[in-house]
Structure 1
Amino acid sequence: MLGRVPPRALIVDDEAPAREELRYLLQEIGPVAQGAPVQVVGEATNGEEALVLLGSLEYDLVLLDIRMPGLTGLEVARAITGLVHRPQVIFTTAYPDHAVDAFDLAAADYLVKPFDAERLRRAVERALSAGPERTGEDAASAEARRPGEGNGAAGREPPNLVRIPVQKDGRTVLVAGDAIVYAAAARGYASLKLPDERVLVSFSLNELERRLQGHFLRVHRSYLVNLRHVRELVPDFQGGLALVMNDRQRSRVEVSRRHARELRRRLGI
């Protein structure tokens, strides 16, 4: 791992109190093997939702319940065995009778509820010490091998079908790429401007740019715009350009001089 990048975790449990408890315990244990605290960047309430999130972002760690409506945790773990960047799996369950099956799937640990922060810390340390480090692998080749997709460019999800996970009121909401008017950089994260609201995400703008290709274009170091939502191109008072977007607020987005030519080319003007 380059530097002290926080390990990314996904919590999968159909019970909200259980997810909240895991978040609390992860905060309690603080920095782990890689010198940074675990960052929870996704929550799923069932196995199907977990697979969507695992296909949208690379995680280092999955805290996975077993008995859930729909797909079980064991089925989710089995489905992600072919991931290029396979996260380490820690099963967190109230039932001790699936441990053998869990370890057959190369689980890092199997925690039976209730457990405390110290027990979780040991499991996380073990998982992350065995897990894959983030590499500089080309993002396109990694994307092409997400679960449920074929190999090569033909298997990649079309940009308009890309969904970005957003945490809202303890739930993970999947925002469709086409619904995003533009994305803006913020300190340590980014915001997505939707037609009627603005939401924060844990992705950097560079990560969003890699995912939101096609009709998205970086027009400034701080802005990534959906060209389908551009309403007007107007000169600013310094002789540059600004975009007026078609959201409710008619937001204005600055265009840097070095991106202006590519913008005009993409818009055909």
Structure 2
Amino acid sequence: MRVLVCDDEQLARDRLVRLVDTMDGIELVAQAANGREAVEVARHMRPDVVLMDIRMPGMDGFEAAQALAGTEVPPALIFCTAYEDHALEAFRAQALDYLLKPVSRDELGAALERARSWNGRRPATATTVEATASDRRNHISARTHRGIELVPVQDIRYFLADQKYITVRHGSGEVLIDETLKDLETEFDDLFVRVHRNALAALKYIESLEQVPNGHHQLRLRGVADALVVSRRHVAGLRRLMQRL
């Protein structure tokens, strides 16, 4: 996998170069000191991945991302920045990942592994690769009327499947995502538990398991008014799990 590193700060650029050089199967093909230079170099070198700073003189990272998106085979884009407040803009720019400086080797390695699923048009989602605890998402992204909304996984109460979409219930409301419950269960298997064929509940928010008059069971979660229906096949396992919480 061919990588281009772009950062206007020499020290930051050198650090990324050193990290890339330690990774098997990754080749550093070029460096750039600003967005315009990155675009020009990318058109000639055709990297698979660009590690891009955001705040740079002349042409910043977002402007460069827009230019790269118009190339014949757009590279996967991983933003590496010192600022947390550009995450939404980064995902609107179809970034594969958003890493905060100083970037660690593990974080960069996980992001580059995800980049292997790049299809030349858009970043692969975490549901297209087998996630592990070290490289899984910290946020779920959803397209809403406000644009891309990022929901911290730690704030999610449950995932509820309804036909082709998944409702993500979090502390401030809910959003819809186009993923599968099975992929979410695999990715977050130690954070959520299956309580029904169409529902995953967050372990940290489980409050009580109740039996309702018709003999069915429902699960109460902290901070959520509505209860989740628990299927009979999952009741015993859920009880055992709750005893260990």
CA–CA distance in structure 1, aligned partners of residues 115 and 96 of structure 2: 14
3-state SS of paired residue (1:251): coil
Aligned residues: 154
3-state SS of paired residue (1:89): coil
Structure 1, gaps ≥5 residues long: 1-12, 23-42, 56-69, 71-78, 91-123, 125-133, 145-154
Match of 2:134 among 156, 177, 181: 156
3-state SS of paired residue (2:208): strand
CA RMSD of the aligned region, Å?
Answer: 4.2
- Assess if the C-alpha contact under 8 Å between 2:155 and 2:170 holds in 1: yes
**Which amino acid counterpart does residue 156 of structure 1 have in structure 2?**
S
**Which amino acid counterpart does residue 46 of structure 1 have in structure 2?**
A
Where has structure 1 moved over 3 Å in runs of 4 or more? 79-85
Once the two structures are TM-superposed, the CA of residue 51 in structure 1 deviates from its matched residue by 3.1
Cross-structure match for 1:186 = 162
Alignment of 1:241 with 2:217, yes or no, is yes
CA 1:263/1:89 → structure 2, altered by over 3 Å: closer, same or farther?
A: same
- Assess if the C-alpha contact under 8 Å between 1:189 and 1:205 holds in 2: no
Match of 1:221 among 190, 193, 197: 197
Match of 2:181 among 183, 205, 230: 205
Once the two structures are TM-superposed, the CA of residue 195 in structure 1 deviates from its matched residue by 2.1
Once the two structures are TM-superposed, the CA of residue 143 in structure 1 deviates from its matched residue by 2.2
**Aligned residue runs from structure 1 range 1-269, under 5 A:** 14=62, 45-46=89-90, 50-52=95-97, 82-83=113-114, 85-90=116-121, 142-144=130-132, 156-157=134-135, 162-247=138-223, 249-268=224-243
CA–CA distance in structure 2, aligned partners of residues 86 and 207 of structure 1: 16
- Assess if the C-alpha contact under 8 Å between 1:162 and 1:211 holds in 2: no
CA–CA distance in structure 2, aligned partners of residues 259 and 251 of structure 1: 19
**Which amino acid counterpart does residue 195 of structure 2 have in structure 1?**
V
Once the two structures are TM-superposed, the CA of residue 85 in structure 1 deviates from its matched residue by 4.6
What is the TM-score of this pair, normalised by structure 2?
A: 0.51
Once the two structures are TM-superposed, the CA of residue 197 in structure 1 deviates from its matched residue by 0.9
**Which amino acid counterpart does residue 253 of structure 1 have in structure 2?**
L
Structure 2, gaps ≥5 residues long: 1-60, 71-86, 102-109
3-state SS of paired residue (2:95): helix
CA–CA distance in structure 2, aligned partners of residues 173 and 14 of structure 1: 18
CA–CA distance in structure 1, aligned partners of residues 114 and 180 of structure 2: 22
**Which amino acid counterpart does residue 86 of structure 1 have in structure 2?**
S
CA 1:50/1:260 → structure 2, altered by over 3 Å: closer, same or farther?
A: same
CA–CA distance in structure 1, aligned partners of residues 197 and 237 of structure 2: 14
CA 1:81/1:219 → structure 2, altered by over 3 Å: closer, same or farther?
A: closer
Q: Which has the higher contact order (CA 8 A, sep 6+)?
A: 1
Once the two structures are TM-superposed, the CA of residue 240 in structure 1 deviates from its matched residue by 2.5
CA–CA distance in structure 2, aligned partners of residues 81 and 156 of structure 1: 13
CA 1:49/1:239 → structure 2, altered by over 3 Å: closer, same or farther?
A: same
3-state SS of paired residue (1:50): coil
Cross-structure match for 1:149 = none
**Which amino acid counterpart does residue 131 of structure 2 have in structure 1?**
E
CA–CA distance in structure 1, aligned partners of residues 230 and 208 of structure 2: 12
In percent, how many aligned pairs have the same letter? 23
Once the two structures are TM-superposed, the CA of residue 209 in structure 1 deviates from its matched residue by 1.2
CA–CA distance in structure 2, aligned partners of residues 45 and 14 of structure 1: 8
CA 1:232/1:50 → structure 2, altered by over 3 Å: closer, same or farther?
A: same
What is the TM-score of this pair, normalised by structure 1?
A: 0.46
CA 1:85/1:238 → structure 2, altered by over 3 Å: closer, same or farther?
A: farther
